[in-house]
Amino acid sequence: MHHKVFYLGHFRTGTTSFFRAARILGYVRCEHFPLEYFRHLYRVGNVDWDAPFDVMCNANEVEYPRCDRVYPGSKFILPIRDVDDWLLSIKYFTSQVRGDSEHIPWIRQRLETCLGSPVYDEQLYRLNYINQHNMVTEYFKGREKDFLLLPLDAASETKWDLICNFLGKPIPEEPYPYLNRTDGNNIC
């Protein structure tokens, strides 16, 4: 059965790594930060369009119920990261969101939509991160065939095992990718 895969992570929750992992697993039509999707979403206000992808990363933390309705049989993966570790990473990330890249307005829009502000606010971001995880988990409660909680602190082999069993894919020989670390390099 053909299905779409939605990786429901906020910024700094392994979206780049999962994008690479999806490619390793043989998914060809992958979107990491799908600008056309977001332009459509914010212009039209819904996701009811023929999305030309099989895997979408860094999307739908807010739109997952519509995606679930519009793309029945899809798989949804919610990464789990320690909230304090995530806050350190997102603080650095938001400090780097500047310049004139075409991504900048959409990054700011997504931060506003998903976390309540394009400017780092520890209390607000913490609250929204926890609430969003709770809402997504509750929404998919009892639907283990459609929904996977993926602990980002798990070992590479464990991540592959969880993901591949969930998606019905063979486990690759290579380690799970760990990309786009917060290491002082300019993100945008």
Residue 187: the pLDDT is 40
Phi, psi of 77 (to 5 degrees): -120, 125
Please identify which residue in the block is written with the tokens 């809402």: 135
**Domain-embedded: residue 151:** yes
Please identify which residue in the block is written with the tokens 């602990």: 151
CB contact at 8 A, 80 and 162: no
**Domain-embedded: residue 183:** no
Q: Domains in the chain: how many in total?
A: 1
Please identify which residue in the block is written with the tokens 């992808």: 53
At 28, the amino acid letter reads V
**Domain-embedded: residue 69:** yes
Quick one: which of 103, 4, 9 has its CA closest to 50? 4
10-residue block means of pLDDT along the chain (188 residues)?
Answer: 80 86 88 61 56 71 78 92 91 80 76 85 94 93 96 88 96 89 48
Please identify which residue in the block is written with the tokens 């290491």: 183
State the distance between the two ends of the chain, measured CA to CA, in whole angstroms.
Answer: 37
**Domain-embedded: residue 126:** no
Residue 113: the pLDDT is 79
**Domain-embedded: residue 31:** yes
Tell me the H-state helices in 34-186. 35-44, 64-70, 83-95, 104-115, 122-139, 156-167
**Domain-embedded: residue 70:** yes
**Domain-embedded: residue 54:** yes
Q: Is 102 left (phi over 0), alpha (psi -120 to 50) or beta?
A: alpha
CB contact at 8 A, 15 and 78: no
Q: Which domain holds residue 67?
A: 5-82+132-167
At 162, the amino acid letter reads L
**Domain-embedded: residue 174:** no
List the strands of the sheet with 5-7, edge to edge: 30-31, 55-57, 5-7, 75-80, 147-151
CB contact at 8 A, 30 and 22: yes
